[in-house]
Structure 1
Amino acid sequence: MIDLSPTKLKNIHHFVGGTWQHGYGKAWTKVRKVYLPYNLKGSHWVAIEIHFVNHTVTVYDSYYTATSKLVRLLHPICETLAIVLYNMQFYQASEVEEVQKKGLEMSSFTPFSLCSIADVPQQRDGASCGILTVKFIEHLTAGIPLQTVDPLKMQYYRLKLAIEGLRGEAYV
């Protein structure tokens, strides 16, 4: 388990509650799953899916050789997330019937199961993990198959995201 400082715990409560400072968050109690970018030790980005009904944390990694190390590092997070959500009475507060039902099935906090998806497009260099994480989250939230992400189009994806960011239109 990860020992969280009061400041970090407060930030997590804001994030989960949809009251994060930038105003673009949605309360987790209104959804079945959330997608997050996750950085591994300051050097590698992956997409994370937290599925509240299945009670799973799924890793989508564009550099599969790093996944085994990542899975080891995420195990404490799966337990800590479960404890924080349990203490927040997340499942009781959920507005999603299937999520509330899952909470009733669990007698106490239950760590999330950790999964990794191997069949995702892989980066061809040491610098595309961030943009591929963004593309994975875009595709997953839109229900578009990840196989349509083309690792050969990194320059296009970077330029598109930069233009959207400058216009204030960036999705993620």
Structure 2
Amino acid sequence: MPSFKFVQQFLEPFKPTGRRRGSKKGAGSNPDDLPASKAKNLHHFVRGTWQHGYAQAWTKVRKVYFPYNLKGSHWVAIELDFVRHTATVYDSYIDYTKRSKLVTLLHPISDTLARVLFDMHFYDDSEVEEVKQKGLTMSMYTPFSVCSIADVPQQRDGASCGILTVKFIEHLSAGMSGGGIFMRSVSTKG
């Protein structure tokens, strides 16, 4: 399985310059914009041309799975579905993260990544017909809808989130969907 640590590194919000509001240097920083170097690296990663050579191009698949760290201390599995245009969270410790905060914590994925994919014409370049068709219905940038899966195994300690995240990704990427799993949507509106 490719290492997806880089996805999160590319999407981490960049630090403000520390300049006062209205200054020329601070004027160009928008939280949805990525520094050029991170955007370039993310483009290589998505296209499968990353220098380390272990990433498959996202244009060849309908879904992508990767681990994502919330609050710097809790791992969850993320499923990006390019046809449904959703970012689904598989969380082994749902009591840790309030549903109301999930959209804010996933802003780098739901908003920034969606913007980068749209700007790089990802949907037009997709080799998957369903994904290409979804792109035709998106005349403008649209954030990913954030959903969470409520009925997944829950950890009983404070340290199992990493291994459970890997198991969720392994299970999902093998095409096994659990019976009785239902989705609870999280509003993307403020």
Please give the TM-score of this superposition, normalised by the length of structure 1. 0.80
Paired residues, what number? 147
Write 1 or 2 for the structure with the bigger share of helix.
1
Which secondary structure state, in structure 2, belongs to the residue aligned with residue 65 of structure 1? coil
Runs of 4+ in 1 over 6 A off after TM superposition: none
Once residues 127 and 7 of structure 1 are traced to their aligned partners in structure 2, the CA distance between those partners, rounded to angstroms, is 34
Q: Structure 1's 144 and 9: CA in aligned 2 closer, same or farther, altered over 3 A?
A: same
Question: Which of 83, 86, 93 is matched with 1:53 structurally?
Answer: 83
> Is residue 35–residue 50 contact of structure 1 (8 Å, CA) maintained in 2?
yes
Q: Which runs of 5+ in 1 are unaligned?
A: 148-172
CA contact (8 A) 1:2 1:77 kept: no
Identity rate, percent: 73
Structure 1 residues 146 and 24: alpha-carbon distance in aligned structure 2, compared to 1, 3 A threshold: farther
How does the TM-score come out when normalised to structure 2? 0.73
Shift of 1:94: 0.4
Q: Is 1:109–2:132 an aligned residue pair?
A: no
* Equivalent position SS for 2:106: helix
The amino acid that maps onto 1:4 is L
The answer for the alignment partner of 2:94 in structure 1 is 64
Which residue of 24, 29, 35 corresponds with 1:5? Answer: 35
State the Cα distance separating 1:76 from its structure 2 match. Answer: 4.8
Q: Unpaired runs of 5+ in structure 2?
A: 1-30, 180-190
The yes-or-no answer on 1:40 pairing with 2:67 is: no
- Equivalent in 106, 117, 121 of residue 153 of structure 2: 121
Give SS of 1:140's match.
helix
Deviation at 1:146, TM superposition (A): 5.0
> Match for 1:27 among 57, 64, 71?
57
Instruction: Give secondary structure in 1 for the equivalent of 2:151.
Output: coil
Pairing 1:144-163 to 2, within 5 Å after superposition? 144-145=176-177
C-alpha change, 1:106 and 1:64, in structure 2 (3 Å) is same
Match of 2:48 among 9, 12, 18: 18
